[in-house]
Amino acid sequence: MNSISPSAAQYIGGVMQDELVESRRQQPMERQSSFGLRLPQVPDSSREAPGEPDEMDKLKAKLMSAWNNVKYGWTVKSKTSFNKISPVTVMGHSFLLNSEDEVERFRLAFVSRIWLTYRREFPQLEGSTWTTDCGWGCMLRSGQMLLAQGLLVHLLPKDWVWPDAQQLTDVDFELFRPRSPVRAGGVPIPSFGSPRGSNTPEKSLPSDQVPKSSPRKRPECVRDRQAEPIHCKLLTWFGDHPLAPFGVHQLVEIGKSSGKKAGDWYGPSIVAHILRKAVAKSSVIQNLAVYVAQDCTVYKKDVVRLCDESLSNASSDLSSQIWKSVIILVPVRLGGEALNPSYIECVKNILKLECCIGIIGGKPKHSLFFIGFQDEQLLYLDPHYCQPVVDVTQVNFSLESFHCSSPKKMPFSRMDPSCTIGFYAKNKKDFESLCSAVSVALSSSKEKYPIFTFVEGQGQDYRLEGHGSNHSGSAAHILPPGKLGKSNDRRNSDEFVFL
């Protein structure tokens, strides 16, 4: 059932009509194309490249933004249906949507995820005329969301929720019971968008559908409010300006060392390495490291060497060892041209783990950030909505565009087999628990070979060209014993070893 939400006009008016009207006003009137759009005069070919974006570049960016939001369904939003009798998993937490309290918990858990999307009209990317990442930066945005989730659990209290989530409007979905004669016959819940404490009248429900109790305050709300400055600070690190440590400008600059540039397609494997370099380069996070697995293998000793700072400082006091928290990123391939169905149960079990911080992948040339699932469908955050840039350097900048109000799902069968799975461990004990729990989840695969493995040693013991803690080039390859480490230089960062 596709129901247009009350705010559909927001996207049509705010993105399509306003942008087209504004762009037309800015263009000279001398000539008009056969398609009815007034075009600017051809810029002087002597103009330095890549100089400042000209009016044609700006018009293209606006039209691309408008068309993108139509193409990916953001101009007419449809409701996503959820099964009332099957649990929904979000970031390791399970919700059974058969009561108002559970719906509220799910609502807060979903809306509290950080949502990073295409932006337009940001400062020009160095070496190009790009002022938007619309149409090419979706994998970078998905990678940002993965890193942001890791930073949320690293810096904020356990099970933190955004205290202003209740003020969001237009969060639409519906509930239904399987095999009901009419799909909408299940008891619908009030829209997420019902403003709490608002004076605006709400549509009344039948008496048998009025919830008996609806939580207005959570016990943790005071704690969550106290953590709000950290939440705001975290968002500034992903701002769309050159100085933001994890912003698009920095990620594109880091990607140049791997042969990528603004406007290129980035795969999930190379984005994992870009994120690792960005965290290592940044000074805003001192006690966090990022490890990228190689050849679908996590080498435990390499992780220990990366996190245990006493090993890199011979004069350190062993009685006061400092263990860095770690984000582990594992690029994998879940099949050949399409997802191998044998891996679906394994992916579900991984998403059920609290140590899992999500999966970046999606569909071919269409990146998504997977945060959970229900039945045979993945729950995801979509970076393809193009929004105006937000100046995060301003005091009290708006946070609403960094949190999504539209849950979306897609079948597992449509998932691209190329993806990167993220995990987080706060300390050494958590890392050991992570290895144990993930190994159990991996064993649920029906395939002879697991998605990836944990190995006690270090990468160089297996004669790898490099390992995830400090290697930044192409994916390394396990070489058979007794053979020299000769291999071709691979430019494609998303090539994997097939077992």
H or E element, residue 102:
helix 100-111
- 295, 382, 416, 494: which is the annotated catalytic residue? 382
Nearest to 140 by CA among 116, 160, 164, 122: 116
Q: What's the helix, strand, coil split of the chain in %, to 5?
A: 35, 15, 50
Active site residue 384: yes
Can you give 242-281 as a three-state secondary structure string? Answer: CCCCCCHHHHHHHHHHHCCCCCCCCCHHHHHHHHHHHHHH
Give residue 73's region: left, alpha or beta (phi > 0; psi -120 to 50).
left
Q: Give the DSSP letter of residue 329.
A: E
- Which residue type occupies 340? N
Distance CA 396, CA 394 (A): 6
What residues pair up with 329 in beta bridges, in sequence order?
A: 292, 422
- 138, 307, 355, 386: which is the annotated catalytic residue? 138
Active site residue 382: yes
Tokens of 196: 């709490």
- 384, 403, 471, 477: which is the annotated catalytic residue? 384
Distance CA 272, CA 155 (A): 21
Active site residue 249: no
Helix (H, G, I), strand (E, B) or coil at 11: helix
Distance CA 165, CA 467 (A): 41
Nearest to 346 by CA among 419, 444, 414, 450: 444
Q: What is the DSSP string of 17-85?
A: IHHHHHHHHHS-SS-B-TTS-B-PPPPPTTS-TT-S--HHHHHHHHHHHHHHHHHTT-SS--PEEEESS
Catalytic residues: 138, 382, 384
